Amino acid sequence: MPLLIECIPAFLDNYIWLLRDTDSGCTAVVDPGADRPVLDALARRSWRLDWILNTHHHHDHTGANLNLKRATGCRIAGAALDRHRIPGIDLALDDGDVFALGRSEGLVISTPGHTIGHICFWFARDCALFSGDTLFLMGCGRLIEGDAATLQASLLRLAALPQDTRVYCAHEYTLANARFACTVDPENTALRRRLAAMQARSERGEPTVPARLAEEIETNPFLRTASATIAARLGLHGSSPTDVFAELRRRKDNFI
């Protein structure tokens, strides 16, 4: 049976993902920055919490670790590289490890760039990718602990997953990302259609996340750095995809 996935909004624009393996009843949350929304969601469903999965160490993704562990007795899994920065970690994971949530299996993919130890979880059976702050819808994370080449390589690893993979990122940044994407890829008709669709969803009060990886490959400029059109738009005709990526990231950092 499939993995149940539910969205728990937190703070202004964070998403905590609640996962339940329907075969075993084993339950996890991904990147809990706040405890009360998680505890309320569990109480409404009369579910126990077995695991916390952390994609990286930032406080808005790990801030509820210890409170949830005390309240529920859950265990915490995160990157081995970040074991010293993830509160309460019990299980240290490396690239290529398989995390078992009951009968649901998530492949651990190392995706440094936003942070050195960032990891993603890909549940192949359910075509579900929990991408943290590496891959956003029509965007990507900031370069906080890595460089452009490192983050670009991480994104290319994710882009190589099956295109029907659904991307569950950790923030509702979609509209701002889409507006920026339109400034560097204005002739992309799929991008304009997608922006309109995302605006409609936002106006209805609906999350824009998740989306299929195929849509990201078609409209996310950070996955389209080999595009001659985008390079020319940036004044980088003939430059390497890594140079294009670095310029995209620089411009997005200053986009209002």
Provide the CATH number for the domain formed by 3-253 in this structure: 3.60.15.10
By annotation, the residues acting in catalysis are 56, 58, 60-61, 114, 133, 171
Intra-chain end-to-end CA distance of the chain, in Å = 44
pLDDT value at residue 1: 67
Query: What is the C-alpha separation between 71 and 66, in angstroms, rounded?
Result: 9
Percent of the chain's residues with pLDDT above 70: 100
**Position 256 confidence tier, pLDDT thresholds 50, 70, 90:** confident
Mean per-residue pLDDT of the chain:
97
Q: In this model, does residue 169 exceed pLDDT 70?
A: yes
pLDDT in tens, 29-38: 999 999 999 9
Widest CA span of the chain, in angstroms?
57
